[in-house]
Structure formats: C-alpha cells, structure tokens
A and B are shown apart, each in its own frame.
Chain A
Amino acid sequence: MDDIKRKYVIPGDVITTGPYRAEDNVHLFGDKIIATTVGISEIYDSGVRVIPLTGVYVPRIDDFIIGMVKSHTSLSWELDINACYPGILPAQDVFGRDFNPKVDELTSRLKTGDLIAARVANSDRSRDPLITIADRDLGKIDDGELIKISPTKVPRLIGKRGSMIQTIENATKAQITIGQNGYVVVSCEEAEGLLKALDAIKIVEEQAHVPNLTERIQEMLGSSSE
C-alpha cells in the first residue's frame, strides 16, 4: 500500500507507460495510460487509476443516498439524486404490495421537495435507477439542513474509518447523514453547532486534496472535541 505513486492529473495527462491494468478513469492509448478526469492518479503494483476530484454521482447498487422528490406519476415518485439520471421510487416500495393507484394517493406519503434517506436498489444503465426506502433506517427526513457537496469528496468527508465525520460530529454535537451522492443532511439542537458543522463540511469539500485535513479541521473546531 505504501508503494502507491500519486500525481495530480488532468484529462489527457499520460500517467505512465507499460504493462499495467487500466482501471477507473483512465484509458489506454498504445502503451500509454492516460487520465480521463481531473484528479489524483495512483499507480499500484498491477493497476493504474484516477481518483476524480469532480463529476456527477454514478449510482451503484446498495449505495446509501439522500434524494429529493421532484415529481410523481400515479405509480412512482421521481427523485433528484444528484446523478445523471433521476431516481425512481416505486409506490409499492412505500405502500406495500397492496398498493392500489385508484385509492392510495402518493402525495399522502411523500410530496415534491421532501427529502428521503434511501438506498439504490437497482442500477443498470438501460433504465433509471430504482430507489428503495423499505428499511428501518430509511425514509422521509423530517429535520435538519441539506447541503450539497461534490460526490467525489464524500470519501474525504467520511474519512478513514469515519475519522473526519466523527471529528466534526463530536466537536459540534451535530448529526450528519452523508449520502454517497453528495447530498448531506446536518441537524443540531444548537444553531451555533449547526453553523460550525456546515462550515467544516464546506472546508473539507474545498480542501479535500490538502494533506492532514482531519487535524486541521479538529484545530478549527476548537478543543471542544474529545
């Protein structure tokens, strides 16, 4: 793991040449491995990839996401999930298998603008991703504030084994729910804690590429952290 060579790259940059496996966000041109997005390239023993620093969210099965209801038909809700496709939440997922479109009004459960904690149930590119909230920890979000960050920064906001998110939560007493799609909900009983948490999240997004960010955030939030 320590043998990973890292470099800042932009599209078209030649990362290396040679018999490596081309992985995420690179392409092969002759024997050159070329970056396809702005990000940090990594060469490890057998493969080359780029960790992107910008770009839309690409839905993956089982991803925890936060979605916003945009509209609905008589059979499903259409969600904004910050991806290149809208998410589809079928009515049956919420009403159960006895769902009857003639009787059950979708807006009685979820209406336009509502936020939900959800999971990606199915994602193949031939149709819009299917979303589910049929789990105990999922469903409509009733309070907090929505903040949007680039989905590429989500791993940084979570941190190694959750270190970054825990640092912020402990220091501000806020609860932070992070969707893989870059939608984040922050709630806090104290207005000041809420503001500090929101500021910290914005800084992590802006400085995701800076080393030792967790320590700097800890300093910024003051010695009130444990």
Chain B
Amino acid sequence: MGVRKSDIVLLDDKGIRCDGRSIEEPRRIMIKAGVLKNANGSAYIEFGENKILAGVFGPRDVHPKHLANTDRGILRCRYHMQPFSVGERKNPAPSRREIEISKVIKEALEPAVMLENFPRTVVDVFIEILQADGGSRCAALDAAAVALADAGIPMRDMVSACAAGKVADTIVLDINNEEDQEGQADMPVAYMPNLGKVTLVQLDGVLTPQEYEKCVNTAINGCKLVYEFQKKALREKFFGDSSQ
C-alpha cells in the first residue's frame, strides 16, 4: 500500500475544514427505520461516508441459560465490521477494538433501556459496519437506538451520539477520517437528549481543561442535531410522515 504525504489543510484561514465544512457543521446524516424483514427492529444510517446497519432481536429467551438474570432482562451488543468496510481488508474475526466498542456501546444504551419488566430475557443488538469513515461508533449508536425503538423495547429516552475533536488547535464538531488521523483529539459522546445524561464519553488525544469543556458541549450540540434525524426516521416509519 502506498503512503500518502499529509498535505491536506485541516483548517484554512476562513475557518473551512478539509472537506469544506465549517467548525460546527456535522457531515451529512440520513437514517431509515425498519429496513430488515426478520429483525424485530432495525435501522440503517449514513453518517458522512459511514454506512451502518443495526438489527435488534428481543426481548427473547436467553441461550445459554446461565447468562440469564432472574431480576431483569440483559442487553447484548455486537459491533462488527465487514472485511470490505475499511481501506485495507479486515479479517472477519472480531478484533480487540470491535470487542471494546461493543462493550462501550452496550453501556451507552443500558441507561436508556428499561428491562426490569423482562426478567430472564435478552435484547440482542447487532451492529454491522458496511463502510467505515471516522466516528463510526457514534453513528453505530445512533442506528442502534433507532432500532431499539423500532423493536418496541421500552426506553427512558433516546440515545444520540456524535463526536467532537480538536483539529489545528480548534474544537470542531464531528471529525471525519482525515481529521481523526491528522488531528489532535477525538471525543465521541452519547447523550440522552430529554434526560440530559451523557452515557458514553471517550477521549483520544490531549485537551486542556477549558478545551475539554468546550469539546463536551460541542459534542452534545452534535448529539442534539442527530436526535432530530432519529426522530424523523421513527416518525416517517410509524406515523407516515415526519411532521406531527
């Protein structure tokens, strides 16, 4: 594989980023609910160049039985990348990165899902990355939350996710692949928009305390923007249109 020289301008003097966006502008987002026939709930998202499919089964019987919790249902989550989803073909077997992201996504959804009324069951969330492009774990979460609502799993709130980061010494919203590789910090955040709780936050890179606060707030603004697309997807499927 050839090595490309890093000659892209991450932020020019007019405040325009390498892909033409402004500092607070997210990439193009499209979400569709109910796209699979067999899954109880499903959603498809395009977030920038990310193309991600999420499917939900449950609540259903747990196998093997020893995993069941007698007091409440459990949530299982699998984030998995197709071999053709990235630049260099990825081995189909789950990598350590995928396993960690699966866990982090599960823990971002757990505060929202209400499984107290479904003891001894499991809700399975399967997320398949068809094409990856920076910020895939946030896009994956956005699709998973819509799929859970599509399946009728009771939820305290939606979960909306978006990343912010630091690029050319500036806090920006929703960093893409180049900004992730050449930038200075990457902070994915998931947020419950009505309850006001952050359920996922990670950081790669170095931020001053002031930058950290700005980054968190920028990411949360991004989450609120994504929430509108999640609402639209569910309204279009269930209520026939996206308006009230």
Which residues from chain A sit less than 8 Å from chain B, CB to CB? 7-8, 10-14, 25, 27, 29, 32, 34, 36-38, 52-56, 58, 84-86, 125-126, 152, 209-210
Contact = CB atoms under 8 A, between A and B. Distances in A.
B8 to A, nearest CB: 38
Contacts of B153: 37, 55
Interface size class of chain B, counting residues whose CB lies under 8 Å from the partner chain: 35 or more
A7 B121 contact: no
Contacts of A38: 149-150, 152, 234, 238
Given A32-B194, A34-B194, A209-B240, 20 more contacts: A7-B244, A10-B158, A11-B112, A11-B155, A12-B157, A12-B158, A12-B195, A13-B194, A29-B194, A36-B114, A36-B154, A38-B238, A54-B152, A55-B152, A56-B40, A56-B58, A58-B117, A84-B61, A126-B70, A209-B238
Given A38-B238, A53-B238, A10 B152 contact: no
8 contacts: A10-B231, A11-B156, A12-B193, A12-B194, A29-B194, A34-B157, A37-B149, A152-B152
A84 B244 contact: no
Interface string B58-92: 11110000000010010000000000000000000
Nearest to B159: A12
B192 A12 contact: yes
A202 B231 CA distance: 25
Nearest to A53: B238
A37 B151 CA distance: 9
A83 to B, nearest CB: 9
Contacts, number: 93
B238 A36 contact: no
- The main secondary structure of chain A at its interface with chain B is loop
* Majority secondary structure, B binding face: loop
B120 A85 contact: yes
A25 B114 CA distance: 10
B240 A27 contact: no
Contacts of A125: 117-120
Contact of B154 (A29, A37, A53): A37
B156 A34 contact: yes
Contacts of B155: 11-12, 36-37
Contacts of B152: 37-38, 52-56, 152
A152 B124 CA distance: 21
Contacts of B188: none
Given A36-B154, A38-B234, A38-B238, A11 B149 contact: yes
B157 A54 contact: no
A54 B61 contact: no
